[in-house]
Amino acid sequence: MRKWDLLLIIALGTAALCMTTVAQESKPPTAKGVEQPASERSAQSGRAYSGMYTFLKEGEFVQLTVEDNGSITGFVSRFGDGESDKGAFLDQFFKRGKLDGNKLSFTTEIVHGVSFDFKGTIERGEGKNPGDEAYFVLKGTLTENSSDADKKVTSHSRDVVLKMFPQEASPTPVMRK
């Protein structure tokens, strides 16, 4: 088993645990005839967006966690493309992230001279049920910012559709008796 295979399995397990926790949360009780404030409904629906999404290449992914206040935490796991990190698995944690309704933006930390900016939306995808592949998708513009040895920054933008991984792709926890 290669190193990145093991890292992917670990990341999938972490995502499964996060998604299981989100799925187990229940709505707070409301009095009959009293509607929840829009901010609470938005926070609850936003948590459903938490999970793992595809990234640019097979084996790469984005882990996204929606916090109660609409902030986003997470990271991009990808293969290095540079001379010094070619093929190495790199994690780039979010420096900033925000969810406003279904509008999503995040910026990663710089790792080996590369960072990413995403601006777009979270939308319903082709998946029919929660837990299906592509139940949610991230649609928008991904900008890769690369700096060379002379600190010259080059930016390359592309439109992307990043699909949520299916829940069954994540390893299920083993129950012990």
List the domains of the chain with CATH numbers.
3-22+43-167 (2.40.128.30)
User: Taking the model in full, what pTM does it have?
Assistant: 0.70
The segments of the chain whose pLDDT lies below 50 read 3-4, 6-8, 15-43, 171-176
Burial profile 75-94: b = 16 or more Cβ within 10 angstroms, e = fewer:
bbbbbebeeeeeeebbebeb
Region of 65 please: left (phi>0), alpha (psi -120 to 50) or beta.
Answer: beta
- Span 106-147, pLDDT tens digits: 999 999 999 999 999 999 999 999 989 999 999 999 999 998
Q: What per-residue confidence (pLDDT) applies to 149? A: 80
CA–CA separation, 161 and 125 (whole Å): 10
